[in-house]
Structure 1
Amino acid sequence: MVEFLIKRPIAVTMSLIAVLVLGILAANFLPVSLMPEVKIPQVTVQVTAENLSARELDATVVKPLRNQLTQLNHLKNIRTETRDGSSTIFMEFEHGSDIDFIFIEVNEKIDRTTLPKDIERPRTLKANATDIPAFYLNLTLKENIPQQTADIQKFIELSKFGLSVISKRIEQIPEVAMVDISGQILSEISIIPNLPKLQALHIEVADLEKAILGNNINLGNLTIRDGEYQYNIRFSSTLTQKEDIENVYCKINGRLYQIKDLAQVKEVPQGQIGFVKSDGKSALTLAIVKQADARMSDLKKEIHQLTETFRKDYPHIDFTITRDQTALLDYSIDNLTQNLLVGILLACLVIFFFMQDFRSPLLITLTIPISLIITLLCMFVTRISLNVISLSGIVLGVGMMVDNSIIVIDNITQKWDKGEKLKTAVIKGTNEVFTPMLSSVLTTCSVFIPLIFMSGISGALFYDQAMAVTIGLFSSLAVSLIVIPVYYYRFYKKQEKRSRNRFLSRFHLMDYEKIYENGLKWIFRHQVLTWGILIGMIAGSCGIYLVIEKRKFPPITQNDLLLNIEWNKRINAVENERRTSRLTDHLKPLLSQYTVMAGSQKFLLSHTKENSVSEAIVYLKTVHPDSIPVLKEKIRSYLENNYPEALYSTESSGNIFDMIFAEKEPTLVARIRSINGKSPEPDLLNQLLRSIRDKLPSIHIEPVAWQEVVQLLTQPDLMTLYGIDYNRLFYKLKSAFNENRIFYMNEGEYSIPVLLGEEEKTLQHILRTTTVKNDAGIDIPLSLLLRENRINDLKNIISGAEGEYYPLQLEVKEKNIPDITQQITAVVAADRNFEVSFSGSYYSNREMIKELSAILVVSLLLLYFILAAQFESLIQPLIILSEIGIDLFGALFLLWICGSSINIMSMIGIIVMCGIVINDSILKVDTINRLRKEGKGLLKAILMAGNKRLKPIIMTSLTTILAILPFLFTGNLGADLQFPLSLAIIGGMTVGTIVSVYFIPLGYYYIYKIRQS
């Protein structure tokens, strides 16, 4: 084939140009995203019941739902979290499950569950990569409006404007799926009866309600025929504004009144259970959710253009974009692209200095852009997006892309230098190395195949990286076999023999051939010492593995975080906002931007954690990532000094990477359950935790988040005695607590509730002064009919498939966990009221490492099968693969020295290294075999093969190492992910190159010397 191609340079050139044009076009249409599109096997069910306490909601709604949902197929884990008024059921399924079908099944299970009549149907949500908003857009007034002032009306107008105008204009952008809003304050109509006047006129509050509802009716349409004409007549008497309610007439006891004569009707802000503040100002926050198939760059351009238009059109409003996911994407992609260019430059410099010629290195460097463009074309065809994972696969492949070209050109040059004609040297030199090159590509690609079968979404995620490397390597192989020989022949056709460039010859830094010969002689003279060093390195690998930190994912550089605070007191939203504002004022010198979400939020989607009134979420952004540790320390000291009872935690600010990979559990969780299966008694649980605290004094154990529950217990005997029924009593309580919503008035995009109640009072005042009329018209005090009872209960009720449990979360060092679990188990067993089981990232990390270790074994087996097929030998693959045990020392040692850990990325790096590092040894063993077939003796064949393959081995190793070297010096999502992978590959390749040059000849010599003897 090579002989045919070198005769058709124009055909090869035209074909190449056609492919390159298609590749460049495909690159412009290639979707760009932060992470690959993967289906996340998670479903969430949200339950809302405003009038139920956490305990009542868990018993009457959540428990029946949980019993039904645990019957779902492929369910991996279920956890429910219940608080006053709401509950969330989290379900995780096995990866690969049909999540669309499961979503239907979940809804069927909900429909089969018997729920109370007044509970609205639970909402079911699938977890999608697009759930995380691309931006948060905060709207604030130029002048700050405190929420407790009379000027609150201005913020109500801003809220209405944001809902009806701003959100609608943003949703018109094709790339926007929806706009989710929180922080809005709307108005409500409050009707406050004049109770002394009503009592004097013997009028009941219920009479006012009846009159109002009687005037708010819509009878629909009637169709009337008038000869050949037909008319639709509509009868309507609806109340649409405050004045309509005031002017309602009611006839009571034979007299005619208007509502404004008997009650005060006023428009007031709705009772707030949550606030949003942006940089200290009251804000309306809009979470902008991207369409699944939209390009992030297009969305960013449209949003920024529209925001600039808003700023010009509405100068009295500040528009601030926060938590910009596109910035993370741009930063990561730009840095990866920069790393790619730096890697190419370094690889090219190595090639120029080693080849000491301008033409052949130019051919080699052409391989990279050509292979890259062909790779992008193939990615477009296979529908793989350009993202952090696939781009890192391309960067990983860059160093290996030039390897095939180096080997082909070096082999052709050696044939030509020996005196063969150029055409013959090109044909024979290319054909001679085709088999070992194909074997090298197959072995490199084969290590990625088992990664795709990893459990969980990690396997699906790294499919992109595996495909990017595989496509890149096969592209470079095709270029090396089709393009390089043709152009090599054309470049040197008029030159009788190859001559070195005088300028580049000056940069011959060292005589590596002499160093190699001296080193090999020393190895063969000190064989016992050499074997001792090798065995020591294998033992060192085992030792480092035992002491090095093990975690699921590497730490990611960030300059922002989310602070979650539970004040652990029954405070209202106003006090929550006051406390949180004081905290942000304390932290302000370190911050460039911050957003406070105090209390419950009004988002529809599940991208933001659901909070109670006493909880807050604070987004904090610093100028530089180095400020994050200082910020965390200031948060800790402030809260511990000012609010020691508060519970708090910090987490990453939320992006698609965190959604897929974030450690959702602490290192260790002790799941404490009552032996009788009931809810834990407060006194018993507190006593148990004190015992654990005494047993483990050095470990911080957070206090339990208890809440005081006020129960109003009816006195059935007295209610019967005084002739009061439950409906009348409940109606009176609703009115007294301002919870009696009689109807809603429609006002454009939103509804205004109309409440019939009383002035706000304390609980004690209501019980002491409020009365309810019995059938005889006598006023009976509520204090006679109700008895107040106060109890302590858990603020958040956590349950799993096994039932309710208390999660004792512990952040401890992994090496201490076996001892800690043993001590906790002993304390719980001695208590005899509880039982305990353990979970946490400690266990999931070990499962992941076991799985990756199994994948490593499978990869080695695949390598053995490919090598055995190539060499037609069962012994020679063992010689090559034996170096991997030694190369592991280099990978683990560099990880340990650089302070990294064994995680999914470093383990993948080790697996990939196993496929790359043996390529040099494959070439060397193939050359030794060929020389022995030509009649050379064993030792002479080993020495000649070493000299012949020394330069390409050093060059291919250096280009691979230098291509990924930039990952060690940049801090961003892409580089942080690839940092441990790069360390593992660089460490393994460095040791592997030395082993390939010296140990493989020694091992080959020993085995065949024994066989010959």
Structure 2
Amino acid sequence: MTQLSIRRGVTTAMIYLIAIGFGLFSLTRLNIDLYPKLEFPMLAIITQYTGVGPNDLETVITRPIEEVCASVENVKTVSSTTQQGLSLIMIEFSWGTDMNQAEIDVRNNLEYIRDYLPQDASDPMVFAFDVSSQPILYLTLSSPDLSQAELRYIGEHDLEPRLERIPGVASASTMGGMKREIKVFADPMRMRAHNISLQQITGALQAANLQIPSGMVDNDRLEFSVNTAGQFTSVEQIASTSVATYNGAVIRVSDVARVEDGFTEQRQRVWNNNKPAVMVILQRQSDANSVTVCREVAKRMPAIEKELPSGVKVETMMDLSKFITQSMSNLTSTAWQAVLLTFLVLLFFLRNIRSALIVAVSIPVSVVTTFAVMDQAGLTLNIISMAGLALSIGMLVDTSIVVLESIFRHHDDKKEKLREAANNGTQEVGMAVTASTLTTLVVFIPVLFVPGMAGMLFRDMVITICFSLTISLVVSLTLIPLLASRILRIQKNLNPNGMAMRANRVISEWLDRLHTAYARALTGAMNHKKSVLAATFFAFILAVVWMFTAGGDFIPKTDNGFLAVSVDRSPGTSLEAMDKSMQELSQILKEKIPEADNIYANFGQGEGIMALFSSQNSAEGDVTIRLKERKDRKRSVFEIQDDLREELNSLPDMEVKFADRGEQLFSGADIIVKIFGHDLQKSEALANELEAKLEKITGIVSITSSIRKATPELRIDLDRQRIADLGLSAAQIGQVVSTSILGSTVTQFRDGGDEYDIKLQLDKKFRTSKEDLENILIMTPTGSQIPLRAISTIAYTKAPRAILREDQERIVTLGIDISGRDLRRVTADVKKAMKEVSLPRDFRTEIGGTAEDQQESFMYLGLALMVAILLTYMVMASQFESLVDPFTILFTVPLSMIGVAFGLMVTGTDMSVMALVGVVMLVGIVVNNGIVLVDKINQLRQEGLGLEAAIQEAGRVRMRPVLMTAMTTILGMFPLAIGSGESGETWAPMGRAVMGGMTVATVLTLVVVPIIYYYMEFIGSRANRFRKAREQRRLEKGIVHAEE
């Protein structure tokens, strides 16, 4: 391959130009997104039953759905949250499950029980989790002149259709404001006087609002369709609808009720910068480019605003594309910095700009060509894949450095012509660089099979690194020798007083001194082998101890420019009271956070899919603060949280905590303690006891109990014997009570092409107290009416705000958020506290949340590390055709662990999933220097040099390429290890782990590996002598026996 590429130079150049062209074309086709295409093996089922409490909802909706879903194939866990008016069931499947088939199976099972669910409940809605379906743009509508109802109408009828016509927009949905609704407020006093029931009013309105097709009329010339137009055309017609006839008089709706053209009862409110607003949320199509879609919306928005009523202002509350763009720009800048540092390292060691450019050309060629492979593989440009490219920058030149250094030696030392040197030099190290690249590639194979969040996140990064490294290997074996044979020239006849020559002399002198110092160090180490090995072993033990005892986190949180605050008031707090509290909190946040650009508040019941992410209680809400860009503020998101936490915790009648906007990707709180048991009172007592112990643990800043606050409830206990005697049923009574208090939609009113609900319920003044509830009239089959108190007992009680279940068992959770201390240590303290609590029979506790994700990811990545070491050994054994040499080289891995521990400890970085992935990467990187060194020792020994002489000479010859490849990798990681800019905190642990491990491993490889090689050869030679002596003795014994 090398010889052909040199001989057919033009052909080789054309092939690479074509590859680069495809790469640049593919770059324009790649979608830009924040995360890769993450397919969570989860489904959500949402069922709304407005006005029904958690206890009843659990019985009639949640449990039946759980039972049929648990039988679906590959279900791992079924968990649910049942709260006022809402049942949310989450089904987690095993990784690798076909989610399309799983969704079909779930829908089929739901069909079996659909007829058994309450008729007034919504149909269960099934949603598949898809990160790409998350909202990418939040817009707010406000106007000083228009009402909330008018703004809502503009959002739904004017803005939504225009936005949905923009290419790439999947849907636009409006939240907040009020909807028009025709209210029929019944008066129980007048109903009793006319002996009219709610069921009669419902039937009358439904019968009077019909359009009935009545056939065709043919007059021999024309044919006419006949339609009986019986639909309401005005609110007055609704009021004049006949309900019944009493003593010859017609009783109309207006005689027993008040009809009002009003609005739905507001259950959700939106505030933008302390002003009422309506929010419009945009979701993109799954194959659309988030950045392109948001830019297109911004481009068209001025024209759209002009078409809206005067005074309506549309503002961008949150634009996900900005964080994506900033993160990508930061990673691109990191990559360019890595390229520059790598080039400077090459220039420093090679002292020849042509040589440095020849090696450096492998970076753009490999990266650009990788874009074409990414496009064909269906990958996107996201922070994960871009981080893979940034990580690989320093490694892309490793094989090219070794090849070019070999070409140099053949040209300088063996006086070969450039073309001959290019071919022979590449052939000499071809197998070594191929094996070294394979060792780097195989370590990533186990990461691809890591299940869970870690494996899913790192898939794009691993694939990108593997693509680019494979291409760089081909480049080093074809393009590098071609360029070397054509344009490489050794610098001669330079001006001895020129700047270039002076710099050359300084670098040469420095490298000569480094060679001399290394030779002395290696000689000293060889003379004190046991001491060096003992010291190294001791350092390794200390590193391992530190790793197992140091702090540990899952994935470092990043400053995304948004601050999220969740608010919780006492159950039963009205929407009006919550409104006032949210305004006060927003004002405090505005004063305390000068970095705030926008403050948005949302509270009340979420609508549709947003019910997944919103509360269903008027006493709960969220505040989102959009901060100024990172460069325009001094404090990070985390510093602002720490500065405000104590003050917000002291607010009266309000529980305020900070939330992570990205936590829906993971498992919510940092640590979740789950208490399993059916008796909620006992579970609450256990939770309170445990919470008191947890509050004493350092690092815990907030604890949220799922059962701490109960919701006030009026409970109706029916006298079943009495209602049976009257010929009534519990369902009939429940329907009357529901219509009286909650109201029911009896029919629709059409106006100008739009359709509005007609809702029947008791007038507000007749449904405000327990006495009003007792006075609700129930009509018996005989036509008489009796009050509800005559057939039931009504009492004040308390119900849990939400009932949580997991695998069809009730649970109570304690959500724990931490700050100022690592997750691993806090989790260990939490487990100790859990053991101190005595559990009743049939009760148990478990740990969940991010802590569970961390433990699972650490376990699988630990297994991946062991498999990576095994695969690396196998590749090296195949290269060397030896079982001993690969074992010798593998000692570079524990040497790197010393550096990892040192690097993380010096920078104050906790061991995290990112750092652990860096450790896995190191397995394939650090052995490359060992391969180059051991391969040279073997070559020199085959040429006749003695063991120690070969070791000394190999160290001298390979020191420069070892240092060059190490320095390019180390400095290539440096911009990433700094962790500056958007999403920089995420990747810093990985960069620091690789930098620390590579630095220490490089130094120790040049000293310790020769000693280990020496001992391996010494043990091997002694074993050979022993084996030969044993065979000789056997031979002699055989001769003696033959003579006898």
What TM-score do the two structures reach when normalised by structure 2? 0.89
Kindly indicate whether the alpha-carbon contact (under 8 Å) linking 1:957 and 1:993 is maintained by their aligned counterparts in 2.
yes
Alignment match, 2:36: 36
State whether structure 2 residue 594 is matched by structure 1 residue 594.
no
Give the one of 256, 270, 286 matched to 2:264.
270
Structure 1's 823 and 802: CA in aligned 2 closer, same or farther, altered over 3 A?
A: farther
Kindly indicate whether the alpha-carbon contact (under 8 Å) linking 1:276 and 1:284 is maintained by their aligned counterparts in 2.
yes
Structure 1's 259 and 336: CA in aligned 2 closer, same or farther, altered over 3 A?
A: same
- Counterparts of 1:199 and 1:452, CA distance in 2: 72
Q: SS of the counterpart of 1:1004?
A: helix
Alignment match, 2:179: 186
CA positional deviation for 1:848: 2.2
- After superposition, residues 77-476 of structure 1 pair within 5 angstroms as 77-113=77-113, 115-118=116-119, 119-142=121-144, 154-192=147-185, 211-227=204-220, 229-248=222-241, 252-255=246-249, 264-314=258-308, 315-418=310-413, 419-476=415-472
CA positional deviation for 1:239: 0.7
2:471 maps to a residue whose letter is S
Structure 1's 210 and 79: CA in aligned 2 closer, same or farther, altered over 3 A?
A: closer
Alignment match, 2:696: 698
Kindly indicate whether the alpha-carbon contact (under 8 Å) linking 2:391 and 2:973 is maintained by their aligned counterparts in 1.
yes
- Counterparts of 1:652 and 1:338, CA distance in 2: 27
Alignment match, 1:149: none
* Structure 2 residue runs without a partner (length 5+): 1023-1044
- Counterparts of 1:287 and 1:593, CA distance in 2: 16
Kindly indicate whether the alpha-carbon contact (under 8 Å) linking 2:733 and 2:778 is maintained by their aligned counterparts in 1.
yes
1:713 maps to a residue whose letter is D
Q: SS of the counterpart of 2:265?
A: coil
- Counterparts of 2:637 and 2:973, CA distance in 1: 28
Alignment match, 2:907: 898
1:370 maps to a residue whose letter is V
Q: Compare 225-234 and 69-78 and name the one that shifted more.
A: 225-234
Kindly indicate whether the alpha-carbon contact (under 8 Å) linking 1:451 and 1:459 is maintained by their aligned counterparts in 2.
yes
Q: SS of the counterpart of 2:879?
A: helix
CA positional deviation for 1:104: 1.0
- Counterparts of 2:943 and 2:925, CA distance in 1: 29
Q: SS of the counterpart of 1:64?
A: helix
Structure 1's 995 and 313: CA in aligned 2 closer, same or farther, altered over 3 A?
A: same
- After superposition, residues 524-535 of structure 1 pair within 5 angstroms as 524-535=526-537
Q: SS of the counterpart of 2:76?
A: strand
CA positional deviation for 1:561: 3.0
- After superposition, residues 699-738 of structure 1 pair within 5 angstroms as 699=697, 704-715=708-719, 733=737, 736-737=740-741
Q: How many residues align?
A: 992
- Counterparts of 1:992 and 1:536, CA distance in 2: 15
CA positional deviation for 1:497: 10
1:253 maps to a residue whose letter is N
Alignment match, 2:59: 59
Structure 1's 841 and 878: CA in aligned 2 closer, same or farther, altered over 3 A?
A: same
CA positional deviation for 1:609: 3.1
Alignment match, 1:651: 659
Structure 1's 671 and 382: CA in aligned 2 closer, same or farther, altered over 3 A?
A: same
Q: SS of the counterpart of 2:797?
A: strand
CA positional deviation for 1:630: 5.3
Kindly indicate whether the alpha-carbon contact (under 8 Å) linking 1:587 and 1:631 is maintained by their aligned counterparts in 2.
no
State whether structure 2 residue 504 is matched by structure 1 residue 505.
yes
- Counterparts of 1:803 and 1:521, CA distance in 2: 69
CA positional deviation for 1:808: 3.3
Once the two structures are superposed, residues 323-372 of structure 1 have per-residue CA deviations (whole angstroms, 9 ceiling, x without a partner) of 32211211111111111111101111111121111211121122211222
2:521 maps to a residue whose letter is G
Structure 1's 541 and 25: CA in aligned 2 closer, same or farther, altered over 3 A?
A: same
State whether structure 2 residue 879 is matched by structure 1 residue 873.
no
Give the one of 563, 567, 573 matched to 1:571.
573
CA positional deviation for 1:779: 7.1
Kindly indicate whether the alpha-carbon contact (under 8 Å) linking 2:44 and 2:128 is maintained by their aligned counterparts in 1.
yes
Once the two structures are superposed, residues 27-55 of structure 1 have per-residue CA deviations (whole angstroms, 9 ceiling, x without a partner) of 22222222221321111111222243211
State whether structure 2 residue 800 is matched by structure 1 residue 794.
yes
- Counterparts of 2:634 and 2:223, CA distance in 1: 73
* Structure 1 residue runs without a partner (length 5+): 144-152
Structure 1's 109 and 483: CA in aligned 2 closer, same or farther, altered over 3 A?
A: same
CA positional deviation for 1:559: 2.6
Kindly indicate whether the alpha-carbon contact (under 8 Å) linking 2:398 and 2:965 is maintained by their aligned counterparts in 1.
yes
Kindly indicate whether the alpha-carbon contact (under 8 Å) linking 1:868 and 1:877 is maintained by their aligned counterparts in 2.
yes
- After superposition, residues 526-675 of structure 1 pair within 5 angstroms as 526-589=528-591, 590=593, 591-604=596-609, 608-623=613-628, 624=633, 626-629=635-638, 631-633=640-642, 636-643=645-652, 646-654=654-662, 658-660=663-665, 662-673=666-677
1:245 maps to a residue whose letter is I
What TM-score do the two structures reach when normalised by structure 1? 0.91
- Counterparts of 1:913 and 1:341, CA distance in 2: 22
1:505 maps to a residue whose letter is N
- Counterparts of 1:771 and 1:11, CA distance in 2: 93
Give the one of 483, 489, 493 matched to 2:485.
489
Structure 1's 503 and 330: CA in aligned 2 closer, same or farther, altered over 3 A?
A: farther
Kindly indicate whether the alpha-carbon contact (under 8 Å) linking 2:605 and 2:611 is maintained by their aligned counterparts in 1.
no
Structure 1's 802 and 486: CA in aligned 2 closer, same or farther, altered over 3 A?
A: same
2:292 maps to a residue whose letter is D
- Counterparts of 1:278 and 1:806, CA distance in 2: 35
Structure 1's 258 and 687: CA in aligned 2 closer, same or farther, altered over 3 A?
A: closer
Alignment root-mean-square deviation, CA: 3.1
Kindly indicate whether the alpha-carbon contact (under 8 Å) linking 1:142 and 1:318 is maintained by their aligned counterparts in 2.
no
- Counterparts of 1:9 and 1:450, CA distance in 2: 38
- After superposition, residues 959-978 of structure 1 pair within 5 angstroms as 959-972=968-981, 974-978=983-987
Once the two structures are superposed, residues 561-581 of structure 1 have per-residue CA deviations (whole angstroms, 9 ceiling, x without a partner) of 322233232112222222122
Q: SS of the counterpart of 2:147?
A: helix
Structure 1's 579 and 162: CA in aligned 2 closer, same or farther, altered over 3 A?
A: same
1:544 maps to a residue whose letter is W
Alignment match, 1:919: 928
2:428 maps to a residue whose letter is E
Alignment match, 1:146: none
- Counterparts of 1:107 and 1:79, CA distance in 2: 17
Structure 1's 444 and 821: CA in aligned 2 closer, same or farther, altered over 3 A?
A: closer
CA positional deviation for 1:640: 3.8
- Counterparts of 1:397 and 1:453, CA distance in 2: 21
1:412 maps to a residue whose letter is I
Structure 1's 1009 and 187: CA in aligned 2 closer, same or farther, altered over 3 A?
A: same
CA positional deviation for 1:879: 1.0
Alignment match, 1:807: 813
Give the one of 755, 758, 762 matched to 1:753.
758
Kindly indicate whether the alpha-carbon contact (under 8 Å) linking 2:598 and 2:627 is maintained by their aligned counterparts in 1.
yes
Once the two structures are superposed, residues 799-827 of structure 1 have per-residue CA deviations (whole angstroms, 9 ceiling, x without a partner) of 11151122234457644655654554453
Once the two structures are superposed, residues 902-942 of structure 1 have per-residue CA deviations (whole angstroms, 9 ceiling, x without a partner) of 22211110011110111111111111111111222222222
Q: SS of the counterpart of 2:837?
A: helix
- Counterparts of 2:193 and 2:727, CA distance in 1: 23
Kindly indicate whether the alpha-carbon contact (under 8 Å) linking 2:926 and 2:998 is maintained by their aligned counterparts in 1.
yes
- Counterparts of 1:70 and 1:727, CA distance in 2: 29
Alignment match, 2:964: 955
Q: Compare 51-60 and 500-509 and name the one that shifted more.
A: 500-509
- Counterparts of 1:668 and 1:412, CA distance in 2: 60
CA positional deviation for 1:723: 9.5
